[in-house]
C-alpha cells in the first residue's frame, strides 16, 4: 500500500501526544519535537506494521529517558531515501552494544532492563519489518548522551506514482 510517509509519521506521533495529555500520576513526562520535511513522499509499506516499528522506538525512547526528556523526531530526504530519525536524551547505548540492539532478546544491561520490563524483541521485529519494506534501520549513540534510531526507506514523489498509473491503463 502506498502511503504518505510524513502524514503517517505525524499521525503516529500525535497518539503519543495524546498519551502525555491524558497522563496518569507517576507516568513519565516527555516532549516531542517534530521536524518533518513538508514535501509529500510516498512509501510502499503496511501502515500497521510501520506503526508497530515507530511505537517500539518511541516507547524505548520514553522508557530509557529521564523524566521530562525531549524526543526529537525528524523526516528528511537524503540521497533518494526518506530518513526518519527519533533521538532521545536518555542514558544512551555503549558503543560495543549499538549493533547488537537489533538482535533477538539482546538487552544492554540485564539487571536494569529487567526492572524496565519488556522482552528484548521489539527492535529485532522492527528490523525484520523495515527490511521487508526494502529499508534499513540502525542506531547511533554515545553512552550518556542519548540514542538516535534511524530508518531509511525508498520513496516516490507523487509525480512518479501518476506515471505508474498511466502505465497501468495502457
Chain positions contacting Mg ion, by CB under 5 A: 56, 60, 122
Binding mask 114-133 for ligand ATP (x = CB under 6 A): ----xxxxxxx---------
Choice between 44 and 55, CB closer to Mg ion: 55
The interface with ligand ATP within residues 23-82 (CB under 6 A) comprises 56, 60-61, 64
Distance CA 28, CA 165 (A): 47
Element (H, E) at 70: strand 69-78
- In the complex, the smallest distance separating the C-beta of residue 65 from Mg ion, rounded to whole angstroms, is 13
User: Helix 122-132 vs helix 47-63: angle between axes, to the nearest 10 degrees?
Assistant: 150
Sheet strand arrangement including 2-4 = 2-4, 41-44, 156-157
Interface residues with ligand ATP (CB under 6 A) are 56, 60-61, 64, 88, 90-91, 93, 101, 106-108, 113, 118-124, 147
Amino acid at each position: 500500500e502506498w502511503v504518505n510517509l510524513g502524514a503517517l509519521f505525524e499521525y503516529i506521533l500525535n497518539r503519543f501526544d495524546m498519551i502525555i495529555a491524558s497522563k496518569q500520576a507517576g507516568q513519565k513526562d516527555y516532549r516531542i519535537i517534530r521536524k518533518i520535511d513538508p514535501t509529500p513522499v510516498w512509501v510502499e509499506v503496511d501502515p500497521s506494521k510501520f506503526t508497530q516499528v515507530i511505537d517500539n522506538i518511541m516507547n524505548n525512547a520514553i522508557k530509557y529517558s529521564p523524566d521530562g526528556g525531549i524526543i526529537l523526531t525528524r523526516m528528511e530526504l537524503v540521497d533518494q531515501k526518506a530518513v526518519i530519525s527519533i533521538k532521545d536524551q536518555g542514558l544512551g547505548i555503549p558503543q560495543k552494544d549499538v549493533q547488537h540492539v537489533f538482535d533477538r532478546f539482546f538487552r544492554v544491561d540485564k539487571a536494569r532492563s529487567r526492572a524496565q520490563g519488556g522482552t528484548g524483541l521489539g527492535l529485532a521485529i522492527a528490523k525484520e519489518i523495515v527490511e521487508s519494506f526494502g529499508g534499513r534501520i540502525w542506531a547511533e549513540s554515545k553512552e550518556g548522551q542519548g540514542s538516535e534510531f534511524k530508518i531509511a526507506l525508498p520513496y516516490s514523489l507523487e509525480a512518479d506514482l501518476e506515471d505508474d498509473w498511466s502505465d497501468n491503463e495502457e
